[in-house]
Chain A
Amino acid sequence: MELILWRHADAEDGRDDMARRLTPKGEQQAAAMAKWLRAHLPGPFTLLASPAVRAQQTARALAVPITEKSLAPGATVAAIVKAVEKHRGIVIVVGHMPDLGRAAAELVASAQTEWSVEKGAVWWLAGEAPARIKAVLSPELL
């Protein structure tokens, strides 16, 4: 398994959480991360995204995503793993905190806690649980 957890980039505040859009800074973060991913992904991949607009916009910087309702804010680790297991090869999940941070902690360290995944950052995990952390990149360090 190769799983890339990608947190949506910087987004505007807003009353309707699902409709919040990326800020100009967020658009730049998403574009920069998409460029890095294109340069380093070894081959074909499946791109899954939460239905929230900020996740959809982040994903679209790379490709047209498959929208997974189960990845909406509040996704459980089990829901994330289930969405990923439907696909083979490299799967990229564009989602939210603390959901992605919980998934990383569970898959890498079997820990029921949440790790900090920064806005617009990717966590690239490899292997079955316990997974190995292959790469982590935050937009400021690209």
Chain B
Amino acid sequence: MDLILWRHAEAEENAADDMRRRLTSKGRKQASRAAEWLLQRLPSRFTLIASPAVRAHQTAQALGAPIKVEPSLAPGATPKAIVVAAGWPENKGAVVIVGHQPDLGRALAQLVAGGDGRWSIKKGAIWWLSNRVRDGDAQVVVRAVVSPDLL
């Protein structure tokens, strides 16, 4: 399985309602650059799941694919909620999750390092993980980490 964790791009700061914060124009550019990078590398069929927050939904929209909105991915999502939403590690194919910090960073620390860390993820950045079994051991492979400044 391929699991792509994608943090929403830069969003407006001042909004009464955190869930309704929209991407800035810089954020929209970040999202479209990251989407272009992903579309060149993802298999033709993939599942796209986003937090219900507007900034996550707008980021996901850059991929131009159907979006499944998952309330459990809203800000504050636990690593378990993220793993369950993705169907990791049994799901076949590729799943793209668009969410928030520190939630995604916590899920990464747990999936990659088995720890309680809060890994940093820049706005609009992508972490691409895959799983495999080698010599009877289940392994997690970090295949790519890219942030908008490196795209």
Chain B residue numbers with a CB within 8 Å of A123 are 142
**Chain B interface residues (CB < 8 Å from chain A):** 41, 109, 112-115, 117, 119-120, 128, 139-147, 150
- Candidates A116, A130, A134; contact of B142 at CB < 8 Å: A116
Asked whether, in the complex, the Cβ of B115 is within 8 Å of the Cβ of A109, the reply is yes
Alpha-carbon separation in the docked complex, A123 to B147 (Å): 13
A-B contact pairs, 30 of them (CB 8 A): A108-B113, A109-B109, A109-B113, A109-B117, A111-B114, A115-B112, A115-B142, A116-B141, A116-B142, A118-B141, A121-B143, A130-B117, A132-B119, A132-B120, A133-B142, A133-B145, A134-B145, A134-B147, A135-B146, A136-B142, A136-B143, A136-B145, A137-B144, A137-B145, A137-B146, A138-B143, A140-B143, A141-B41, A141-B128, A141-B144
Q: Given A118-B141, A130-B117, check contact A135 B150 (CB 8 Å).
A: yes
Alpha-carbon separation in the docked complex, A134 to B128 (Å): 13
Alpha-carbon separation in the docked complex, A115 to B141 (Å): 7
From DSSP, what is the main secondary structure of chain B's interface residues? mixed
> Can you name the residue of chain B whose Cβ is closest to the Cβ of A126?
B120
From DSSP, what is the main secondary structure of chain A's interface residues? mixed
Q: Given A105-B113, A108-B113, A141-B41, check contact A133 B119 (CB 8 Å).
A: yes
Chain A residue numbers with a CB within 8 Å of B146 are 135, 137
Chain B residue numbers with a CB within 8 Å of A118 are 141, 143
Alpha-carbon separation in the docked complex, A132 to B122 (Å): 11
Chain A residue numbers with a CB within 8 Å of B114 are 111
Chain B residue numbers with a CB within 8 Å of A137 are 144-146
Chain A residue numbers with a CB within 8 Å of B144 are 136-138, 141
Alpha-carbon separation in the docked complex, A132 to B101 (Å): 15
Pairs A-B, 9 closest by C-beta atoms: A109-B113, A136-B145, A116-B141, A141-B144, A138-B143, A136-B142, A132-B120, A135-B145, A133-B145
Chain A residue numbers with a CB within 8 Å of B150 are 40, 134-135
